[in-house]
Amino acid sequence: MKTPISRPTLQAVFVAVAVSFGSFTSLSAMAATATGASPFAVVSEAGPDGTMPNAYTCDGAGATPALAWSNPPAGTQEFALLMSTVPPDGVTKYNWVLYAIPGATRQLSKDSHNVGTLGAGSNGPTAAYQPPCSKGPGQKSYTFTVYALSAAPVLPQGAPVSGPQLLSAMRSITLGTASLSLHHTRSNENANRNPPPQPSKAVTSGAAATVGMTLVAATTQAQNEACVRVANSLKASTTGVATVECDSNYAYVSSNGLPTHTMMDGIVASNLQVPIAQSFFGANAWKIPLKPAIAATTTTANDGPIGVAINGVPIFNPCKQGGCQNGDTKALGELDVCNGHAGRADDYHYHAAPTCLMAGKPAGYWDTHPLGWALDGFAIFGYNDADGRVASRDGVCGGNTSAVANAPSGYSYHVTDASPYVLSCFRGTPSPDLAGQGAKFSPIRQPPVRPFGVSAMTLTTDAADGYQVLQFQSDRPFTSTATGSDSYANSAGSYHIRYQTVTGPELATLLAQREHAGKSQCWNFQFTTSAGLTTQPAVSYCR
């Protein structure tokens, strides 16, 4: 029998779980036995004594807690999750809005990503986990409620879904709920910080669980300060969310690789790739050295990523794939108005100064605050030195040794409007990400065309169905491909590439197909003229 809800009664079902990070199998086993009076139960290893550690708040790494649930009601097709709190004003606030969790799912790992669809919490329009960051000290209670649903909720399109919108949409399809509450006490010192800096203590991360290593607290004051420095820089982003955790060697910067600013507008030469979410999490997080130093020899930077911006978007060198002998992406007109575009893995990245990111702060801010971090650990700043003068650029890698606050000493890079735009080589020793960059990107399809001239390119969202729509005009015929072994002739005209993330039962059906074994995400693609005429068959791509 369906249980209609107008405003859920949040029963606190807390089960003490004394297991270590990385032992998520134990957590699942606990969930399977934690039935008690209610057969549908949820547990977490995040706070075995009922408290929420700083690691899950804005005073820590801001990671999402690990959760596991058991015995959902019969007929459950998918799950949704809401993390809520009731502040002194009595108006429920939401920190975590997550839905379209496949019905076969029984757990979310710590700092979980790429499971379900994120909505927006009460602290802003960005679709992301918004870690607790109460303004006042004292104990606060946060409730995690898992909803078992008989069908996918019908939700508004065009903007991230809010907690109240999700609750309303689930009212008639909720079969049951399972909840637990954790408490967090914020100190006076932390409550007075706005925004509070990340702590220096590192915690076990998804990366550790994936590659079998244990992240440890930084062992020196210098390492502590370096971790805090990177964490604080990320908080300046107004165009996307990135998180960071540290061990004694690296800051691990995680994100889905997508900014919230305009993308793809203004491109005049394109290979018709589109920006989709990437998995720069766990083992794929960007490794930024915490102790950079000038190396005896420089390292070439003529292909692929050279760093990551504070909004989690990778920064590439200016060259086309394969090296600078193939051309400069900006000079060829392949970049949008923000100096970014989608690459062959349908990944969005910058090749020059991330101007739309920089527009979120006064221009002078970037003279003394990093807009990104190079893979050798040195900071990337705006156009000027700390004194406000145009940054001097040496003849080595295009940076300088001037002292800058909020950055490691020894060297720094500055963006410029002249190629190579950010850096010409690495002055320090790059992290393993430089050599292992290919493993971070997972192409879902063959490049549909070789780059060719286009105009009027824009990327928008169709409010009617939520599809992303890449529109462009071609003044000459062109041939495209969907699989690499087929081809489709297109006459001159205006075209739409429409794509959308697959969720719910449709995703489960696709992932059950043999050709998608081992994959976890899928996208539906449609190809039409601006008049809506189909130009090639619709197709689903998975990775």
pLDDT of 227 > 50? The answer is yes
| Half-sphere exposure of residue 22: CA atoms within 13 angstroms, side-chain side | 13
The answer to whether residue 200 is domain-embedded is no
Please give the distance of CA 114 from its chain centroid, rounded to a whole number: 9
Task: Please tell me whether residues 174 and 314 are part of one structural domain.
Answer: no
Structural domain count, the chain: 3
Q: How far apart are CA 328 and CA 215, in angstroms?
A: 39
Which domain does 70 fall in, by range?
24-191
pLDDT confidence tier of residue 322, bands split at 50, 70 and 90: low
Q: Are residues 417 and 459 in the same domain?
A: no
Contacts of 77 (CB under 8 A, 6+ apart): 103, 149, 150, 151, 152, 504, 505
Distance between CA 30 and CA 43 in Å, rounded? 8
Question: Does any domain span residue 9?
Answer: no
Query: Under a CB-based contact definition with an 8 Å cutoff, are residues 414 and 352 in contact?
Result: no
Confidence at residue 89, expressed as pLDDT on a 0 to 100 scale:
80
Name residue 522's beta-bridge partners.
542
Q: Highest mean pLDDT: which of 5-9, 44-48, 376-380, 392-396?
A: 376-380
pLDDT (average), residues 167-179: 95
Q: What is the pLDDT of residue 210?
A: 25
Alpha-carbon span 192 to 61, nearest angstrom:
18
Write out pLDDT tens, residues 274-314: 999 988 877 788 999 999 999 999 999 877 899 999 999 99
Is 8 a domain residue? no
Q: What is the pTM of this model?
A: 0.69
Same domain, 371 and 304: yes
Phi-psi region of 138 (alpha: psi -120 to 50; beta: other; left: phi over 0): left
Residue 175 and residue 58 in one domain: yes
Looking at 440, 464, 482, the residue that finishes a domain is 440
Q: Are residues 370 and 223 in the same domain?
A: yes
Q: Do both 369 and 475 map to the same domain?
A: no
Instruction: Single out the residue in 440, 472, 507 at which a domain terminates.
Output: 440
Same domain, 482 and 384: no
- Is the pLDDT confidence value at 221 over 70? no
Give CA–CA dist 244/198, Å, rounded.
9
The DSSP 8-state label assigned to residue 248 in this structure reads S
Q: Is residue 471 part of a domain?
A: yes
Regarding whether 278 and 364 lie in a shared domain, the answer is yes
199 assigned to some structural domain: no
pLDDT for 233 equals: 95
User: What's the rounded Cα separation, in Å, for the pair 86 and 145?
Assistant: 14
Average pLDDT over the chain reads: 84
Residues 42, 187 within the same domain:
yes
Contact 77, 176 (CB under 8 A): no
Q: Are residues 425 and 495 in the same domain?
A: no
Let me know whether 322 and 374 are in one domain.
yes
SS3 536: strand
Q: Are residue 144 and residue 60 in the same domain, yes or no?
A: yes
Residue 19 domain flag: no
What's the pLDDT score for residue 25?
37
Of 191, 221, 249, the residue that ends a domain is 191
CATH (domain of 144): 3.90.280.10
With respect to residue 15, please indicate whether it lies within any of the assigned structural domains. no
Q: Quick one: 492 exposed, middle or buried, by C-beta within 10 A (0-12, 13-18, 19+)?
A: exposed
Q: Is 10 among the domain residues?
A: no
